[in-house]
């Protein structure tokens, strides 16, 4: 199978497996796991923040961050296709008691002007803005990358009004590779940043939430509340430490493969995708110009050994990662062309 459903499907490398086998561990709820402690220190250093917390998932990292930055009854501003809004089981509402003010954007990227327009003060009518969340890279908009300047402007706009900013940097290392800018610089204006070890970096599980020491200390309690006190988590942290060192230099290969994939897809009649707009490792392509249903194409592709997810009624998503090479991307393009032709002709996958 050529698995382009997500970069979450990456398997740990031999170096990660070795590190896991040899990991020194202890009870992390007592803060006695030396490997987790090392990972938290290293992650804080990379993010350029005073402290970091190891969490099982990106969803938990985002959930804790929003809780730390808001009060019940407030609003969180984010783009209308944010992961926080569409894929986290409304944890912003469930755990933090906030509503989301979703801003429609062209490519998933907010601007300071829009944020300024939407920031709400305390009033007798509307929920005041508690936080702004930006997604770097933006997943469902096709791995789009915020220019550093836009991030700074958004953070300035929010901070001027006393509102803090969370960066959902699940794929911040991809942003770093695309921009050629260090992670700590990309995250420097945001108050908190979450990044995932388990996506393009390839660790089997885990994400990091970084920010000011007092917030992270409080976040540790929220993590326990959410059931994230993982005891001998050093087994996982060991893989994370390897991922942080060995994977970032390889990400530009995934980006080049994504561009190659998009170029191939753009040549197929009925597909809309602009390869020039593929910034990182995610390709979202639109087949609404045909009468085809993305879920049907996805099902047909599976029969041809290629996995891609339909993400809505118009689009499919392909995500490149280190377990898929250039030749497999070429095979995937050919399979999409065949599947679309076959689905149009009403054929069943062979």
* Selected binder of ligand TLP within 13, 35, 57, 63 (CB under 6 A): 57
* Selected binder of ligand TLP within 74, 207, 257, 339 (CB under 6 A): 207
> CA 236 → CA 34, 147, 334, distances in Å?
12, 32, 37
| Of 53-61, 141-149, 213-221, 271-279: span binding ligand TLP (CB under 6 A) | 53-61
* Selected binder of ligand TLP within 2, 40, 44, 58 (CB under 6 A): 58
Ranges assigned E (strand) in 205-265:
207-211
Nearer to ligand TLP (CB atom), residue 78 or residue 119: 78
Work out the number of other CB atoms within 10 angstroms of the CB of residue 187: 26
Q: Mapping DSSP to helix (H, G, I), strand (E, B) and coil, where does residue 296 land?
A: helix
* Selected binder of ligand TLP within 74, 139, 281, 339 (CB under 6 A): 139
Residue that the structure tokens 């089981």 belong to: 89
* Selected binder of ligand TLP within 4, 39, 170, 175 (CB under 6 A): 170
β-pair partners for 168: 135, 194
For residue 146, the minimal CB distance to ligand TLP (Å) is 12
Q: Does 6 bind ligand TLP (CB under 6 A)?
A: yes
Please say whether the beta carbons of 35 and 241 come within 8 A.
Answer: yes
Q: Does 254 bind ligand TLP (CB under 6 A)?
A: no
Residue that the structure tokens 């469930």 belong to: 94
| Of 56-64, 121-129, 227-235, 243-251: span binding ligand TLP (CB under 6 A) | 56-64
What's the CA gap between 255 and 229, in Å, rounded? 35
Q: Give the footprint of ligand TLP on residues 87-106 (CB under 6 A).
A: 87
Please list the helix, strand and coil fractions of the chain in percent, rounded to the nearest 5, in that order: 45, 15, 40
| Of 51-59, 89-97, 101-109, 265-273: span binding ligand TLP (CB under 6 A) | 51-59
Nearer to ligand TLP (CB atom), residue 82 or residue 342: 82
Nearer to ligand TLP (CB atom), residue 175 or residue 342: 175
Nearest to 175 by CA among 207, 151, 143: 143
Residue with CB nearest ligand TLP? Answer: 58
Q: Does 59 bind ligand TLP (CB under 6 A)?
A: yes
Q: Does 312 bind ligand TLP (CB under 6 A)?
A: no
144 DSSP 8-state letter: B
Q: Give the footprint of ligand TLP on residues 259-298 (CB under 6 A).
A: none
Nearer to ligand TLP (CB atom), residue 83 or residue 223: 83
Residues in the chain: 350
Q: Does 174 bind ligand TLP (CB under 6 A)?
A: no
Q: Is 256 exposed, middle or buried (0-12, 13-18, 19+ CB in 10 A)?
A: middle
Work out the number of other CB atoms within 10 angstroms of the CB of residue 239: 29
Estimate the crossing angle of helix 14-22 against helix 234-246, to 10 degrees: 140
Please report, as ranges, the residues that interact with ligand TLP according to CB under 6 A.
6, 8, 57-59, 62, 83, 87, 135, 139, 168, 170, 196, 198, 207
């Amino acid at each position: 199978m050529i698995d382009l459903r997500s970069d979450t499907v990456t398997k740990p490398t031999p170096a990660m497996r070795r590190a896991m086998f040899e990991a020194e561990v202890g009870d992390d709820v007592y803060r006695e796991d030396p490997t987790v402690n090392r990972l938290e220190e290293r992650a804080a250093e990379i993010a350029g923040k005073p402290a970091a917390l190891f969490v099982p998932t990106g969803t938990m990292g985002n959930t804790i961050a929003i809780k730390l930055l808001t009060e019940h009854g407030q609003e969180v501003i984010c783009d209308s296709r944010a992961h926080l809004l569409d894929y986290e089981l409304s944890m912003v509402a469930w755990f933090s008691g906030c509503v989301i003010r979703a801003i429609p954007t062209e490519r998933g990227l907010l601007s300071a002007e829009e944020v300024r327009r939407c920031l709400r003060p305390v009033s007798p009518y509307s929920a005041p803005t508690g936080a702004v969340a930006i997604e770097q890279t933006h997943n469902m908009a096709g791995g789009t990358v915020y220019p550093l300047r836009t991030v700074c402007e958004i953070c300035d706009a929010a901070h001027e009004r006393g509102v803090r900013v969370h960066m959902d940097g699940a794929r911040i290392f991809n942003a770093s590779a695309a921009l050629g800018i260090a992670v700590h610089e990309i995250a420097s204006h945001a108050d908190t940043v979450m990044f995932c070890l388990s996506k393009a970096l390839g660790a089997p599980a885990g994400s990091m939430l970084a920010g000011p020491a007092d917030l992270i200390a409080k976040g540790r309690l929220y993590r326990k509340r959410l059931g994230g006190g993982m005891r001998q988590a050093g087994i996982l942290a060991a893989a994370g430490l390897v991922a942080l060192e060995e994977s970032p230099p390889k990400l530009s290969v995934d980006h080049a493969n994504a561009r190659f994939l998009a170029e191939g897809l753009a040549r197929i009649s009925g597909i809309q995708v602009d390869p020039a707009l593929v910034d990182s490792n995610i390709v979202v392509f639109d087949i609404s110009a045909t009468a085809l249903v993305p879920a049907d194409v996805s099902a047909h592709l599976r029969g041809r050994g290629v996995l891609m997810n339909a993400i809505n009624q118009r689009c499919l998503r392909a995500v490149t990662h280190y377990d898929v090479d250039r030749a497999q991307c070429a095979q995937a393009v050919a399979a999409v062309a065949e599947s679309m032709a076959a689905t149009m002709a009403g054929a069943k996958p062979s």
